[in-house]
Chain A
């Protein structure tokens, strides 16, 4: 069964460093997303991406964050200068709209710890 894959699964980084989280969405999907889950809290929307541009972003997604689809398969989230409060699980997701509807599938997540 097709799945969303994310790398790395875990990353520890120093405060102020840049981090890039990588995702390979399901191949025929057209919508791509990043979500975040701080430990013990609910899953929060960060950004959606469609047709090579951001379609919506949340208040969390400030100028420190950026997304890119550098080629036909990868979808990346970059945090320019990490802060302690960026420590969280980051989920990539993808979806495609079909006649029966639209289902969003998530990757296994990337744990980011900022120290």
Chain B
């Protein structure tokens, strides 16, 4: 069975502060994918990043960065210098490698950035 835990339910910050979202996962698979999706107030699910389990390099994309640590089964997401437009629910998700690639989602973390 696959499980994703996002322990932080809500985070509130003031604009320009950094925000780190935690994600811990469980899987018996040796190869798998990890994802982050953003769900803004309008409701759609926006793909942010996919990480393959054998690629432990950290990644930076603009103000977003991701820290993947296989040893601790964590895939944390940091927003640097947060902006009001970053206010959303962020979901971490896990899928198998191969087969139908079904996603298992965490419960999500609501980020509120105040001006």
Please determine whether A91 and B45 come into contact, CB atoms closer than 8 angstroms: yes
- Which one of B33, B46, B91 lies within 8 Å of A43 (CB-CB)? B91
A45 on the B face (CB < 8 A): yes
Q: Is the interface of A mostly helix, strand, loop or mixed?
A: strand
Interface set of B (CB-CB < 8 Å, partner A): 33, 35, 37, 42-47, 50, 52, 91, 93, 95, 99-108
Please determine whether A101 and B45 come into contact, CB atoms closer than 8 angstroms: no
A: interface residue count bin: 20 to 34
Please determine whether B47 and A56 come into contact, CB atoms closer than 8 angstroms: no
Q: Give chain A residues whose Cβ lies under 8 Å from the Cβ of B99.
A: 55-56
Contacts known (A42-B107, A43-B45, A105-B47); A31 close to B91, Cβ less than 8 A? no
Contacts known (A43-B45, A103-B47, A109-B44); A33 close to B102, Cβ less than 8 A? yes
Please determine whether B45 and A102 come into contact, CB atoms closer than 8 angstroms: no
Interface set of A (CB-CB < 8 Å, partner B): 31, 33, 35, 41-45, 48, 50, 55-56, 89, 91, 95, 97, 101-109, 111
